[in-house]
Amino acid sequence: MQQIIDRFVKYVTIDTQSDPENPDFPSTQKQWDLAHVLVDDLKEIGMEDITLDENCYVMATLPSNVDFKVPTIGFIAHIDTSPDYSGTDVKPQIHINYNGEDIILNAAQNIVLSPSYFDDLLLYKGQTLITTDGTTLLGADDKAGITEIVSAMEFLVNNPEIKHGKIRICFTPDEEVGKGAHKFDVEKFGAEWAYTMDGSQVGELEYENFNAAGAKVIINGKIVHPGYAKGKMINSMLIANEFMRNLPQHEIPQETEGYEGFYHIHTMKGEVEKTELQYIIRDHDRKLFEERKVLFQKIADNLNLKFGSNLIEVEIKDQYYNMREKIEPVMHIVDIAEEAMKQLGLKPIIKAIRGGTDGSQLSYKGLPCPNIFAGGHNFHGRYEYVAAESLQLATDVIVKIASLTAEKSK
């Protein structure tokens, strides 16, 4: 386990934060830093056919060690960390034998990770937790997944008595900004199916995700001297407020769960003359998803009619779709992962992702790709943490899936 901890710490201390405003691919040059490290690490553990292409995709092969035909399977994780919170100068903190009490992340700034607020912490009492120092995110999303894949491949290389077919792995850039699968070469990857190691709690196994769209709302106003503004000023911020009030007030992330969809405003910039709102629109049901987009546009249209001018501009772009449609015809790939967990004594938690992974887009590109836990919690913020034991368990699941796939092919 110490080797896994050391590998994880090494990866999270390399800044790979992506940038949603940059159209370049990858969106930040610093993602290359980890990509080059991974190429070196894969060479060191004995992987073959290692490539780093012009788009920052790292791919490698573990050849089959059996003399019968086994489907080629893949494992995928992403290099970048969320643009929502700083990933610069990450200082991981190791807490051995967690006692179930508050963890002081940063005494000087009074930043505390507490089970009274994050009750999932109590699932890991007695284990070794890895946290931030409260000033950055940790990056377990998805450097936990990277650590687990590299560790599992190393274990299989060093233990040839464990029989497996050909295994392909890939580490992708820009997943956090929705572009991780855009330039993924499915044909080059050459797997019949794959698994993203990008989930949270131990046992998670997911083959459903949100249908997703991003939406930009621009409200144009008019500025004049406030003392002489009657009948002349148009305050774009007040119209933005009216737009927000017209959306379903309780269909927001903090008041929804399970299969419930939402509208989420994540960025707002405004002054009298111009206000810009950035939303994400989510729903598991495709019909409801389409209805959400229609309502969003209708609210803008109605307000334009009310004010007698096209003050509000809306741009909606689909990001990804629910991969369930592509996974259900090949449900045996989910069954193998479920059986692997059960054989390791884990209780599979099969549920819909309240988000998305590279796997949702890859499934629509012809590579069915369910999602498996990586072990982290509280992604995208200062309270992120992962148990070292979870890193080990996810590593074990990868190894077991590889051996089960071979066993079922005899």
Residues annotated catalytic, as ranges: 80, 175
Nearest to 377 by CA among 123, 150, 185: 123
> E strands, 135-227, where?
167-172, 193-199, 204-206, 211-220
Paired tokens of 239: 């119209």
Rounded CA separation 184/217 (Å): 30
Which residues is 48 bridged to in the sheet?
61
Nearest to 243 by CA among 228, 262, 227, 265: 265
What helix, strand, coil percent values describe the chain, rounded to 5?
Answer: 35, 25, 40
Paired tokens of 295: 């309502």
Rounded CA separation 319/356 (Å): 10
Q: What is the DSSP string of 295-352?
A: HHHHHHHHHHHHHTS--EEEEEEEEE--THHHHGGGTHHHHHHHHHHHHTT---EE--
Asked if 296 and 279 touch (Cβ cutoff 8 Å), the reply is yes
Rounded CA separation 315/304 (Å): 15
Nearest to 355 by CA among 327, 331, 319, 387: 319
Nearest to 256 by CA among 339, 355, 171: 355
Rounded CA separation 400/109 (Å): 43
Neighbour tally for 6: CB within 10 Å: 11
